[in-house]
Structure 1
């Protein structure tokens, strides 16, 4: 009992508690049990709310994931529709590049030999021509020395001139062709009125046709130089 219960009340209404202590303990136990039940109910409600919230978030996340998966499947399906077009485009590009590689060492020989023919003095003629050119699988002829200029092809020809002076004039005419980077002439026979010679002419990359290459006006020299390096160094 507390100090208040032990105090003497003067003039108050007399009261006597005849309830056994067991009854009081039962009443206190019922109140405690009621409090525990309310606490359990409150905790269960909080757990249910938390579970409902987590479940809602999980369902929303699963829905977003399913949406992204469906979008991915749709994109893959769309890509499959255009796979044939991409394959055709790749084949066309490969063929174009193959044409460029194959045509890189090409020289328009009819026009070029016509240019050489035009350098002959009157009465002179070419009797035989052999060309040691390049291809996509074979490199250019080797240069003859450290001072020799790079070449993409070599022409060996036989000709007949009426005199030695005509041969000298022809040499001067050959020097006027830009693509010729070197030549030498060997006499074969010196019959009267028929001076036979053999000439070896080195030709550089400026003689290449490059007919399949697209070139900007200011990039012609750079393009020719790049093709020449490819032709000279490739095997």
Structure 2
């Protein structure tokens, strides 16, 4: 096994160079290069941040301008609406009056026409002599019968009829059953007074008898 011999080779014609700087100086130079590179990085980051901040500031200014424009439009709209405040107040009052009217008229029964319908059911030769009406109000419920077999009612009509001949009460009750809102009717006694027969009837009616004159229509 042979050993390889290292032979020193001299460079002919080269200038002799000797590095006489201490290692500390060389280390300081390398450190300076690193510091300069670090500062360049910091400057680059600062530039990017500055651009971002500038863009955000510009967007903030644009948003502020948009807000001021929207506020100006809103103020103008309020001024225009103020010109029509009287009309708006009038519409509000009309709405309130319509609502109050609907509540007050919710239990309205057109009694003149309803009583005319009652008289139309009377047998021939029979006339109504007295009528007593009791009905519900918008603020209080109508008293119901304790008899669970009787239907709910919103009013009671008690009347007396006269006839020179004995009236046919069953036929009369059949006629009353055709009236709107009719729930039931109870006949009373039939008496003969001063040559006239008098028959009394108590009739109950429900909400179908309401006129609904002030009820809101669909779409209101």
Q: Does the TM-score normalized on the shorter chain lie above 0.5?
A: yes
Query: How do 1:107-146 residues align onto structure 2 when only pairs under 5 Å count?
Result: 107-143=109-145, 145-146=147-148
Structure with the higher fraction of residues in helix conformation: 1
TM-score normalised by L of structure 1: 0.68
The verdict on how the C-alpha distance between 1:88 and 1:37 changes in structure 2, with shifts beyond 3 A counting, is: farther
Distance 1:94 1:194 in 2: 53
Contact 1:163-1:193 at 8 Å conserved across structures:
no
Cα distance, 1:70–1:141 mapped onto 2, change above 3 Å? same
Instruction: Tell me the equivalent position of 1:222.
Output: none
For residues 121 and 15 of structure 2, the distance between their equivalents in structure 1, rounded to whole angstroms, comes to 150
Quote the offset at 1:176 in angstroms. 3.2
Say whether 1:9 aligns with 2:9. yes
Q: Distance in 2 between matches of 1:63 and 1:205?
A: 67
Distance (Å, rounded) in 2 between the aligned partners of 1:146 and 1:168: 24
The question of whether the paired residues in 2 share the 8 Å contact of 1:161 and 1:167 is answered with no
| Match of residue 63, structure 1, among 39, 61, 66 | 61
Taking the aligned partners of 2:55 and 2:188, their CA distance within structure 1 comes to 95
Q: Report the RMSD for the aligned CA atoms in angstroms.
A: 3.6
In 2, distance between residues paired with 1:18 and 1:63? 65
Which residue is 1:173 aligned to? 175
Q: For 1:115-152, what per-residue CA distance to the aligned partner results, in whole angstroms no more than 9, with x for missing partners? A: 11222334432222221111210212413522212222
C-alpha change, 1:75 and 1:205, in structure 2 (3 Å) is farther
2:189 corresponds, among 187, 198, 206, to 187
Query: For the Cα contact (< 8 Å) 1:141–1:154, is it kept in 2?
Result: no
Structure 2 match to 1:162: 164
Structure 2 CA distance for partners of 1:64 and 1:156, relative to 1, 3 Å:
farther
Higher mean displacement: 145-154 or 164-173: 164-173
| Match of residue 106 from structure 1 | 108
SS at match of 1:165: coil
Q: What is the number of residues matched between the two proteins?
A: 209
- The CA distance in 1 between the partners of 2:11 and 2:43, in whole Å, is 52
Displacement of 1:157 in angstroms is 1.7
C-alpha contact (below 8 Å) 1:151/1:203 kept by paired residues: yes
Tell me how far 1:109 sits from its aligned partner: 0.7
Deviates more, 1:48-57 or 1:171-180: 171-180
CA distance in 1, matches of 2:141, 2:34: 98
Q: CA deviation at 1:44?
A: 3.5
Q: Distance in 2 between matches of 1:171 and 1:21?
A: 136
Q: What whole-Å deviation, never above 9, does each CA across 1:173-204 have from its counterpart, x for those lacking one?
A: 32333432211122264235212233211112
CA distance, structure 2, for counterparts of residue 181 and residue 106 of structure 1: 18
CA contact (8 A) 1:132 1:141 kept: no
